[in-house]
Amino acid sequence: MSELVTPALIVDADALDHNLGTMAATLPGARMRPHVKAHKSTALAVRQAEAGHPGFTCATMAEVEGMAGAGLGRDLLLANEVVDARRLGAVVGSGARVTLAVDSSETVAAAADGGVREVVIDVNVGLPRCGCAPEDAGRLADQARSRGLEVRGVMGYEGHVVGLEDRAQRTAMVADCMALLVKAHADVGGDLVSAGGTGTYDINHWATEIQAGSYALMDTAYGRLDLPFRQALFVLSTIISVSPGWAVADCGLKSLAMDHGNPTVEGGTVWFCSDEHVTFGPTDPVQVGDRVRVVPAHVDPTVAYHRVMHLVRDDEVIGTMPVDLRGW
């Protein structure tokens, strides 16, 4: 990896293989709808499809367009509301299958007017974000059908639960969330009950499909949950300054997401991050020019800072995966 200019996003090939295989064995086929917002790479999505997961979850219209353009448009769910769906209608017109989340009369109208043919009713199951009240789901489904839309079912994200470290608490709260979603589904109908994430993939037995994404690459937030997935993503960095008691490496706020806290550094304790630097206390002596692997606390926005992921094995770069779904 000496040829890489740092900071560089690297992916451990063996850890990635393990993660994809572990999820495919646990949730085969349609039981799993990988969320591409976590890695934003059609090359990695191809790997997930090859592992047996042909349907995907997207967070932005750009992700939908990119996935369809890469030949991965067999079954795409945009798990987000939009008020102008014409770009999605164009993707549908190109032959891809696109399902859109709706949670209001306005977003139902946007789907119908924009040329989308299929929707799911997004239900608030406890996370104060998007989603209608469970008791409104049936009414919205009726509105959607009156506009000629096919209602495939419901979705609801227990995002306030997926990161809880106490598994017993996580399990109990998932049950509470899914009770709301199942009730809404009884009013809505359809085949899909779409929910879940990496932290609840093996707990959420109510959903017909799980929208996990971070499992493929992982981060320190999910790493605390004792999941069977390995840390695959790192920001390779170079030590550029050494002082008595601390060292500085050349990655910081512009190459690492900080919304889940500080990253970790192999062989050291992170003190703080600034724009271009991470300052840490090394466990063993280090020198200027040494390389260190920095583990991000939150994978999704970290990946979005970079244009490419370098696939590595035994410190050798064996391939690249462009981050071609980044941006809006």
Q: Which residue has the higher pLDDT, 316 or 2?
A: 316
Assess if residue 9 is contained within a domain.
no
Q: Which residues contact 233 (CB under 8 A, 6 or more apart)?
A: 9, 10, 11, 12, 217, 218, 219, 295, 296, 299, 302, 303, 309
Q: How many helices (H) and strands (E) does the chain have?
A: 9, 16
Q: Which two tokens stand for residue 197?
A: 């994430």
Assess if residue 3 is contained within a domain.
no
CATH number at residue 130: 3.20.20.10
Model-level pTM?
A: 0.96
- Quote the domain boundaries for residue 264: 230-322
**304-325: per-residue pLDDT in tens?**
999 999 999 999 999 999 999 9
2 CB-contact burial (10 Å; exposed 0-12 / middle 13-18 / buried 19+): exposed
> Total structural domains in the chain?
2
What is the pLDDT averaged over residues 46-64?
Answer: 98
Is the confidence at residue 288, as pLDDT, over 90?
Answer: yes
The answer to whether residues 35 and 159 belong to one domain is yes
**101-139: per-residue pLDDT in tens?**
999 999 999 999 999 999 999 999 999 999 999 999 999
What is the pLDDT averaged over residues 251-271?
Answer: 95
What is the pLDDT averaged over residues 70-75?
Answer: 98
pLDDT value at residue 266? 86
CATH number at residue 292: 2.40.37.20
Is the confidence at residue 1, as pLDDT, over 90?
Answer: no
The whole-chain average pLDDT of the chain stands at 97
The structure tokens 């996580």 sit at: 170
Domain boundary among 179, 200, 219: 219
What is the pLDDT averaged over residues 192-213?
Answer: 98
* pLDDT tier, 207 (very low <50, low <70, confident <90, very high otherwise): very high
Is the confidence at residue 48, as pLDDT, over 90?
Answer: yes
| DSSP conformational letter for 6 | S
The answer to whether residues 151 and 64 belong to one domain is yes
How far is the C-alpha of 34 from the C-alpha of 37, rounded, in Å? Answer: 9
Is the confidence at residue 328, as pLDDT, over 90?
Answer: no
The answer to whether residues 34 and 150 belong to one domain is yes
What is the pLDDT averaged over residues 233-256?
Answer: 97
